[in-house]
A = this chain, B = another copy of it.
């Protein structure tokens, strides 16, 4: 009987540990088919250094349940990219470690970079006739994975964005004097999370009055005209923008006057288009302006976790384990929406090679022609994903009690 191992990779979300719970709990239930249930500490990078844990020791009994309401990445994460060249010595090294631990099933929870890892490992396995099975578990607040209706983690992040924007609208409305609040939301290339700010509206024409995604080119003169027009409707204008908005030449708005670096994957690191637009509005329109960057709480706050998201993440985790036991490998668990009213999904498997290194952006037909808003199609799509409140257990200190790796 083989053992299994699971790892987490990439940026954390509120639901990535719900996926982990699903994988680990299902692994522990499959006692006739699976021996030990291991976790890679800090993903494939930590695994290479021999850092693993055994779930039965680390989270015995029902302490495992705590994962479902713990944000972050319980196992720790990494941003390690496996070499393109499958003849690189890291592959036999990894597989020797898998053999040593008698691993038959590997689960990797992450976004498209992580699916790239699953792709390479499963292709290497095929090339050396290894029967180790590799399954990808999707995760990303960005909702940018192809071949799945949405991704675990998006619903909770979207609910955080929507409720926080709704609260900021309330905050802006306490004074009568004209004001513009720019809210900067995560999303480099895909505007899903910024689009979620539309869910904050209580009726048609409510704030946020303007929503700009990175899917279209941003024109700052047109933007200023739009903002001025909004003052006909309300003195307090809320504008939501993706961190990745750019002009028609592809220059990021935050790059207009900011120095930015790159991360280990070569992604540009963005910060500050909200600050830039705040200054632009203040100087050009002569009105009170402020900016709010929602920042990391979008991906790590458990306070607005969506019950729908949590439940689906657990289900996807369990489904992946059963798929591996049935012999599947090189697949990612995917959501397929079968009905919208009432909302229903089924789980399926998609080829990781078709998923990794691709990005699903918001459909152009859902974005208003001038790029300043999102259509009801998005709202219909996203509304079921943010439903339901999760009760986070509180500790004796009155604050959320999360589970931690020892």
Q: Are B263 and A173 in contact (CB under 8 A)?
A: no
The answer to whether A139 has its CB under 8 Å from any CB of chain B is no
Task: Report the minimal beta-carbon distance from A182 to chain B, rounded to whole angstroms.
Answer: 12
Question: 0/1 per residue, A10-21, Cβ < 8 Å to B?
Answer: 011000000000
Which residues of A in the span 169-227 have a Cβ within 8 Å of any Cβ on B?
Answer: 170-171, 173-176, 199-200, 202, 220
Q: Are A256 and B264 in contact (CB under 8 A)?
A: yes
Q: Are B296 and A399 in contact (CB under 8 A)?
A: no
Q: Are B257 and A175 in contact (CB under 8 A)?
A: no
Question: CA A398 – CA B160 in complex, angstroms?
Answer: 11
Q: Are A167 and B71 in contact (CB under 8 A)?
A: yes
Task: Report the minimal beta-carbon distance from A47 to chain B, rounded to whole angstroms.
Answer: 13
Task: Report the minimal beta-carbon distance from A266 to chain B, rounded to whole angstroms.
Answer: 9
Question: CA A402 – CA B162 in complex, angstroms?
Answer: 13
The answer to whether A389 has its CB under 8 Å from any CB of chain B is yes
Q: With contacts A176-B76, A279-B267 known, is A170 near B261, CB below 8 A? A: no
The answer to whether A166 has its CB under 8 Å from any CB of chain B is yes
Residues of B within 8 A of A8 (CB): 174
Closest to A258 in B: B261
Q: Are B260 and A258 in contact (CB under 8 A)?
A: yes
Task: Report the minimal beta-carbon distance from A220 to chain B, rounded to whole angstroms.
Answer: 8
Q: With contacts A167-B302, A263-B257 known, is A159 near B398, CB below 8 A? A: yes
A-B contacts, 24 listed (Cβ < 8 Å)? A42-B175, A42-B176, A46-B176, A70-B170, A73-B174, A76-B174, A78-B176, A162-B399, A163-B400, A166-B399, A167-B301, A170-B402, A171-B299, A199-B397, A257-B261, A257-B262, A258-B260, A263-B283, A269-B276, A293-B293, A303-B303, A383-B398, A388-B398, A389-B394
Q: Known pairs A220-B264, A264-B280, A292-B296. 7 more at Cβ < 8 A? A: A72-B174, A159-B398, A170-B300, A199-B397, A261-B272, A263-B276, A264-B283
The 7 closest A-B pairs by CB, nearest first: A257-B261, A72-B170, A171-B300, A77-B174, A387-B398, A303-B303, A263-B279
Give the B-binding residues of A (Cβ under 8 A). 8, 11-12, 42, 46, 70-73, 76-79, 159, 162-164, 166-168, 170-171, 173-176, 199-200, 202, 220, 256-258, 260-265, 267, 269, 271-272, 275-276, 279-280, 283, 290, 292-293, 295-297, 299-304, 306, 383, 386-389, 394, 397-400, 402, 404
